[in-house]
Amino acid sequence: MAITKPDESWWKTATIYQIYPKSFCDSGSKGMGDLKGITSKLGYIKLLGVDAIWLTPVYQSPMVDNGYDISDYFEINPEFGTMKDFDVLLSEAHQLGIRIIMDIVVNHTSTQHKWFQSALGDKNSPYRDYYIWKDPVEGAEPNNWNSKFGSSAWALDEGTGQYYLHLFAKEQADLNWENPSVREEVKDVIHFWAKKGVDGFRLDVINLISKQQEFLNDENGDGRRFYTDGPRVHEYLQEISESVFQKYGSVTVGEMSSTTLEHCQQYSAQDGKELSMVFNFHHLKVDYLNGDKWTKTPFDFIQLKQIFNHWQTGLNGKGWGALFWCNHDQPRVVSRLGNDKQYRIESAKMLAASIHMMQGTPYVYQGEELGMTNPHYTDIRQYRDVESTNMYQIMVNRRGIAHQDMMAILAQKSRDNSRTPMQWNSTKNAGFTKGTPWLDLAQNYPEINAEAAIADLNSVFYFYKHLIELRKQVSVITDGRYEDLFPEHKRIFAYARQNDKQVLLCINNYYGDEAKCTLPDRFDMSKARKLLSNYQSETCEVGGQNQVLRPYETRIFLIESD
């Protein structure tokens, strides 16, 4: 099927597959993935049944943050291939009916970008005002804001004595969106890719683009309250949307850092004035001790359910959310909330079901459909991620945390946990590359890999495929309202989705022991049909009002009114 005419809301029944090109498939022996590698795997992606690919950045970049530091928005990073390779990928994907969503990083550019290079050290450069510069205060940084990757958010420009703002690495300088020329440049970038025929955009940390202009010291925090969901962010998004997204009918998903429901209702309001949908991360902070990521602690199950309830009920009829556990910044969910040893397959499926049956658009991150795990690195030299290596220095060298404790924290929290190469088969390096991989693989690839999964009808892969199909077949998954049935239950996460004609029940045991619940009588289980579960044996037939779930069991039922 070729894509001929854009349908405005195709993404409401769609599932999107995220590719992190560096770790996906190397067509040669460089040790890192590339565009040709992705094109060679389109058949696999098609088999999974997804509708679109979100490609994380492939533009020219010094790769300090693996492409989230862009030095030229109009060129492909030669390490990934050429513009021709990109065009081939786009056209072959379209021929298979798979859309392509590009990652747009416009909160900041690389300090290697020609705008920054011109601005650095020269107050008279026409590009100086493309970035955010401030004079020192009492000989030091202009304020106490911290970068998201640790340490001050300001770096000194020795040539002028001023500091520039970088909310991420010091090689990622924040753009000054107050400057209308910056907004025009951003529109040009998006226009270029939309004109090429890409179908949509994922907008990196887009709710950080508007900073409060006073740049005040934050007496109670790291500064984020002065730039998160900032004063002009909605205005800016409306401007970009009107000039480009609406013209091309692009699907858009905004990555929202530390955001609120109220702002997300507006970002993704169904009037189409800003974005199609939003990512928020609150459900992935339930294993942060007192809000601090760099801690090791079990996840808070009750809080997880509360957060889902807040967002599912709050966005219903008002906005639209992305549904996800995994991406290139998050550890593997089966290692995080499941059991990646004894119950790896059961828990991977249960976690998949429990998020795919919610309202929104699911995102599957490469390898998640195989139940890929964290690699459990034991040597600090195995880590490559700029955030992880920065935090190691800060925690061990400055804060005096013991090396072993920090290794345990990284093994749970590092972004490299999800960036290990995709496991294609059981041959050397999992078939990812003929060379030396840029990042060590998880050593379980002889068992966990795509080839083995495709050969086994009970694999995690086919379970995802089934979930993706169900979303297209059962309308209540798209339009039903959400109700958490047992918010206080210590082991079971069960929710109902309901519209006028259908009730869908998704019942999940999040733990490794048997768990029980009694469904309310208003759900007539004598009429229920089991759509999917993760145990083969007959004992999990519909089961009536009293449900007894085995370790990490999931059951999905549909009740239809006559």
User: Where along the sequence are the contacts to ligand GLC (CB under 6 A)?
Assistant: 65, 68, 105, 168, 204-205, 255, 328-329
φ/ψ of 168, rounded to 5, equals -115, -135
Helices (H), 393-513: 403-413, 450-454, 460-473, 476-479
The neighbouring-strand residues paired with 546 are: 518
- Residue whose C-beta lies closest to ligand GLC: 68
Nearest distance, CB of residue 466 and ligand GLC, angstroms: 29
Residue 427 corresponds to which tokens in the numbers above?
């041959």
Strands in 481-484's sheet, in edge-to-edge order, are 481-484, 492-498, 502-509, 554-560, 529-533
DSSP bridge pairs for 424? none
CB of 202 to ligand GLC, least distance (A): 9
Q: How far is the C-alpha of 445 from the C-alpha of 424, rounded, in Å?
A: 8
**Residue 398 CB, nearest distance to ligand GLC (Å)?**
22
Please tell me what DSSP assigns to residue 486: -
| Minimum CB–partner distance for residue 534 and ligand GLC (Å) | 30
Exactly one of 255, 368, 369, 416 is catalytic; name it: 255
How far apart CA 392 and CA 127 sit, in angstroms, is 35
Asked whether the beta carbons of 109 and 70 are under 8 A apart, the reply is yes
User: Sign of torsion, CA 253 254 258 264?
Assistant: negative
Smaller CB separation from ligand GLC, 149 or 495: 149
Which of left, alpha, beta for 366 (phi over 0: left; psi -120 to 50: alpha)? beta
- Least spacing, CB of residue 99 vs ligand GLC, in Å: 20
174 is catalytic: no
In the complex with ligand GLC, the residue whose CB is nearer, 369 or 387, is 387
* 518 neighbors 536 (Cβ within 8 angstroms): no
CB atoms within 10 A of CB 288: 15
Phi first, then psi: give them for residue 277, nearest 5 degrees. -160, 170
Residue 448 backbone dihedrals phi, psi, to 5 degrees? -100, 105
**CB nearer ligand GLC, residue 65 or residue 287:** 65
Asked if 432 contacts 421 with a C-beta cutoff of 8 angstroms, the reply is: yes
Nearer to ligand GLC, 11 or 279 (CB): 279
235 by Cβ neighbours in 10 Å (0-12 / 13-18 / 19+) ranks as exposed
Candidates 507, 492, 487, 517; CA nearest to 558 is 507
Shortest reach from residue 41's CB to ligand GLC, in Å? 22
Q: Residue 275 corresponds to which tokens in the numbers above?
A: 């974005």
Closer to ligand GLC at the Cβ: 347 or 417? 417
Q: What is the 3-state secondary structure (H, E, C) of 213-231?
A: CCCCCCCCCCCHHHCCCCC
C-beta closer to ligand GLC: residue 105 or 492: 105
Compute the least distance from the CB of residue 157 to ligand GLC, in Å: 21
Is 204 one of the annotated active-site residues of the chain? yes
Two tokens at 59?
């533009």
DSSP-assigned states of every residue in 219-268: TTSSSGGGTTT-TTHHHHHHHHIIIIIHHHT-EEEEE-TT--HHHHHHHT
Three-state secondary-structure class, residue 507: strand
Q: Which of 185, 204, 229, 368 is catalytic?
A: 204
- Choose between 419 and 489: whose C-beta lies nearer to ligand GLC: 419
C-beta of 168: minimal distance to ligand GLC in Å?
4
CB of 167 to ligand GLC, least distance (A): 8
Nearer to ligand GLC, 70 or 467 (CB): 70
- Could you tell me whether strands 162-165 and 133-134 are parallel, antiparallel, or unpaired per DSSP bridges? antiparallel
- Least distance CB 27 / ligand GLC (angstroms): 24
Please identify, using beta-carbon distances, which residue of 20 and 163 lies nearer to ligand GLC. Answer: 20
- Alpha-carbon distance 15 to 360, whole Å? 9
Instruction: Specify the residue, 383 or 511, whose C-beta has the smaller distance to ligand GLC.
Output: 383
Contact present, 5 and 39 (Cβ < 8 Å):
no
Q: For residues 305 and 311, give the distance between their C-alpha atoms in angstroms, rounded to a whole number.
A: 10
Active-site positions? 204, 255
